């Protein structure tokens, strides 16, 4: 990397992650506040969307949705980042492993905190068993956190493309299964991405050096 490029790297990797992450976090919390003001009731569009889903459910979509439910929640949502972190350690990318681990834990804890604060009831027609607290979606947050972390660690276009597709599919599967309203999944994705971006900021220089070593 040339001397002319170095200041750009420092500026981009230290400032915009915090700003963009903070904006995403504020948007997620603001959305929750708006829902709370409305009495935790669904918006008209998402209520209609849920009604359409319930009326047109099919095994063709139910099976992949249940697969996404497994991948994004429960014990597997902790196992997957742990396995990836171990692989990164084997590859001697210790800062990357730490970044992924801290982001995953912070995202999960923040989701549970917001679930307790907002206390939004889940939709009634659920196909899966879930704990109380619909806002925000933990599955969507887990997916977004993992994708942003891997995108930053690997820094490949295909990772971002595949990652965005994975997050969108996770969000759709949560509404299809009746586990969340659309706004829950939007807030979850914003929250997961925000946490990863904010935690990336203090580690950015070390991660960049580690990736080019």
User: Domain residue spans in the chain?
Assistant: 6-212
Supply angle C-alpha 90, 93, 98, rounded to 5: 105
Q: Judge whether residue 23 has pLDDT over 70.
A: yes
pLDDT tens, residue by residue, 163-196? 999 999 999 999 999 999 999 999 999 999 999 9
Residue 143 to residue 165: CA distance in whole angstroms: 10
Predicted confidence at residue 13, as pLDDT, reads 56
Residue 155 to residue 212: CA distance in whole angstroms: 11
Q: What is the pTM of this model?
A: 0.91
**What's the fold here for domain 6-212?**
Vanadium-containing Chloroperoxidase; domain 1 (1.20.144)
Tokens representing 200 are 């990336």
What dihedral angle (degrees, nearest 10) is formed by the CA atoms of 41, 45, 48, 53?
A: -100
Rounded to a whole number, what is the largest CA-CA distance in the chain? 61
């Amino acid at each position: 990397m040339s001397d002319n490029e170095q200041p750009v790297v420092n500026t981009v990797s230290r400032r915009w992650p915090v700003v963009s992450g903070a904006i995403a976090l504020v948007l997620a919390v603001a959305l929750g506040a708006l829902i709370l003001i409305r009495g935790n009731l669904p918006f008209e569009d998402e209520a209609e969307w849920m009604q359409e889903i319930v009326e047109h459910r099919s095994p063709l979509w139910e099976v992949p949705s249940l697969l996404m439910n497994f991948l994004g929640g429960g014990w597997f949502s902790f196992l997957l980042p742990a396995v990836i972190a171990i692989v990164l350690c084997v590859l001697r990318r210790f800062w990357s492993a730490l970044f992924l681990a801290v982001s995953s834990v912070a995202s999960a804890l923040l989701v549970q905190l917001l679930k307790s604060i907002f206390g939004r009831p889940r939709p009634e027609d659920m196909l899966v068993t879930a704990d109380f607290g619909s806002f925000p979606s933990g599955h969507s947050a887990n997916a977004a956190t993992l994708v942003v972390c891997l995108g930053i660690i690997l820094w490949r276009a295909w990772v971002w493309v595949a990652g965005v597709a994975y997050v969108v599919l996770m969000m759709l599967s949560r509404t299809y299964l009746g586990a969340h309203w659309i706004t829950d999944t939007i807030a979850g994705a914003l929250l997961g991405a925000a946490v990863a971006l904010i935690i990336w900021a203090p580690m950015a220089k070390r991660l960049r050096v580690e990736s080019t070593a």
